[in-house]
Chains A and B, each alone.
Chain A
Amino acid sequence: MKDHITLEAFGQHAVLINWAAQLTLSHEIVAYLNWIEKKFPEEIQETVPAYHSAVIYLSVKVNVHFFIEKLKKYVPKISELKNQTNHFVFTIPVCYDQEFGLDIKEVSKVNDLSTLKLIELHTQPIYRVQFIGFLPGFPYLSGLREPLHTPRKENPRPFIEKGAVGIGGGQTGIYPVDSPGGWNIIGKTPVRLFDPHLEKPSLLRAGDYLKFESVTKVQFNLMELEVASGTFQINKKAYHD
């Protein structure tokens, strides 16, 4: 771990950590952050992981330069980073019907695929949640199959409903809250990805995995009712390396 991380001050109350890109998986970053948060509960306010980097936000009383020197001395052993967190594989139901998949025809056409093939390619991979950012609860996912890569729309929509599933360039994702947006919308999930009234407001966390599952409009409508009444059970399995 020591060889491929660099630490630097990011303003007066934050430390930016960069990992050598190819060597690090998101759950390793999350494990390191959990470990370091436990080591310095007084000094650390919160941490935010991203691709190959993370920022540690410090309490205002902490001198960032002293803290970096201290951090350099704390290099975790591989064994200490094991079992820091539990990660899950979520199954996210998506209705790819044209009523929700506003751009599914366009995306099929651009990539020269049938709609069925598009759905097959989108539901095959197990995507990794790299981190949450951009919007409350918005997952940055990796694993979108190359034939589905589609440029963002030239004119972003002023309003995209929460639950919309989209493709933007080489990425796929789910809008957790209503928002403007420029991604191509191919479907919608009834699952609530973000609920500010829960202690952990984001369903997904960095290091988790997810798989999309195609559902019919009838199933979608039923699930939406279950979500509204609080009886919906999401399919969630523990992830093992």
Chain B
Amino acid sequence: MIEVLKSGIYSSLQDLGRFGHRSSGVPLSGAMDLQSASWANHLVGNREMASVLEFTASGPVLKFMDEAYIAITGADFKPKVNGQQVHSNSLLKVEKGAVLSFTAPSIGLRGYLAIAGGFITEKVLGSTSFYNSITRQAQLTKGDLLRYDVQKKAPSGRIRTHFKPIGNGSNLFVDKGPEFNKLSSFFQDNLFITRFVVSSKSSRMAYVLEHKKRFYVEEIVTSAVQPGTVQLTPGGNVIVLMRDAQTTGGYGRILQLTEDSINLLAQKRAGEIITFKLNET
């Protein structure tokens, strides 16, 4: 077991997502930066859909009650075991009684911890991803105990040699959304030369992008939306829906991020600049 000594700003268990229930209004959820989450699982020899611990901005402090093989990926949180710095992006053995802590990263926002054997946690509607009103808790709190299947032997033969850092560019690649053509051509062109600033109001549900333009598109009759959908409100706010987004919405869907760009945006923090680039493929 792992005891959560400090929860950090926002920590939750996440997997690839809760598929098959969007027509019941159930959000997809899943790790915000799926690439980093999948890689953490790969490093410890887990299957891609195993649950990982996602933490945000400031990491948690965790006490291991049993030994464990773990991997930490995502933003550079400078992990420490009993105060000694250890490597991210590699397989680590943690001894019984060890305390794992983190330092706020200088680049990136979210970190991932995978554990060999996987976390043992409630599966609701086919997924272990935390979500309010679906799972018992939405985020970890101090004192929580995380169970896992203790492995006595190191996972073998799964170590990938090439390192996959989190993306550090500011270009988000997009396809035109269903309502793109309802924008005036002036706004269409402007979308791709505007430098947007990530707002502090961003969350697992949506990122708000600030700008000084006056983009306009009318509201639509409510229709389905998905993670990566860029919405424009009648007031001109640009919102990028993320993993916990609702399944339907009434704002114009002007762009759609590629999967890689969702992962990239998930690592952006308030104040960072992004621009949209039209996907040429």
Task: Evaluate contact between A133 and B246: CB separation under 8 angstroms.
Answer: yes
Q: Count of A-B contacts with CB under 8 A?
A: 114
Contact of B19 among A9, A14, A46, A202 (CB under 8 A): A46
Does A61 sit at the interface, judged by CB under 8 A?
A: no
Closest to A162 in B: B133
Within B110-126, the residues touching A (CB, 8 Å) are 124-125
A117 CB → nearest B CB, Å: 29
Task: Evaluate contact between A136 and B223: CB separation under 8 angstroms.
Answer: no
Contact of B23 among A9, A21, A49 (CB under 8 A): A49
A52 CB → nearest B CB, Å: 6
Task: Evaluate contact between B24 and A53: CB separation under 8 angstroms.
Answer: no
Task: Evaluate contact between B20 and A48: CB separation under 8 angstroms.
Answer: no
Does A165 sit at the interface, judged by CB under 8 A?
A: no
Contact of B226 among A9, A11, A134, A179 (CB under 8 A): A11
Q: How far is the CA of A133 from the CA of B27 in the complex (A)?
A: 9
Within B157-177, the residues touching A (CB, 8 Å) are 175, 177
Does B178 sit at the interface, judged by CB under 8 A?
A: yes
By secondary structure, the B interface counts as: loop
Taking CB atoms, residues of chain B closer than 8 Å to A21 are 221
Within B255-281, the residues touching A (CB, 8 Å) are 256-259
Contact of B124 among A135, A140, A196, A200 (CB under 8 A): A196
Q: A9-B175, A11-B175, A134-B248 are in contact. Are A197 and B224 (CB under 8 A)?
A: no
Report B's interface with A, CB cutoff 8 A.
Answer: 19-27, 124-125, 133-135, 175, 177-178, 221-224, 226, 228-229, 246-249, 253, 256-259
Report A's interface with B, CB cutoff 8 A.
Answer: 8-14, 16, 21, 45-55, 57, 60, 131-138, 140, 176-179, 194, 196-197, 200-202, 205-206
Task: For the complex of A and B, list the 3 residue pairs with the smallest distance between their C-beta atoms, beginning with the closest.
Answer: A133-B248, A11-B256, A202-B24
Can you list 26 contacts pairing A with B, beta carbon distance less than 8 Å? A11-B228, A13-B259, A16-B178, A16-B224, A46-B20, A49-B224, A53-B221, A54-B224, A55-B226, A57-B22, A131-B23, A133-B224, A133-B246, A134-B25, A134-B247, A136-B26, A140-B222, A177-B133, A194-B24, A194-B25, A194-B133, A196-B26, A196-B125, A196-B133, A196-B134, A200-B24
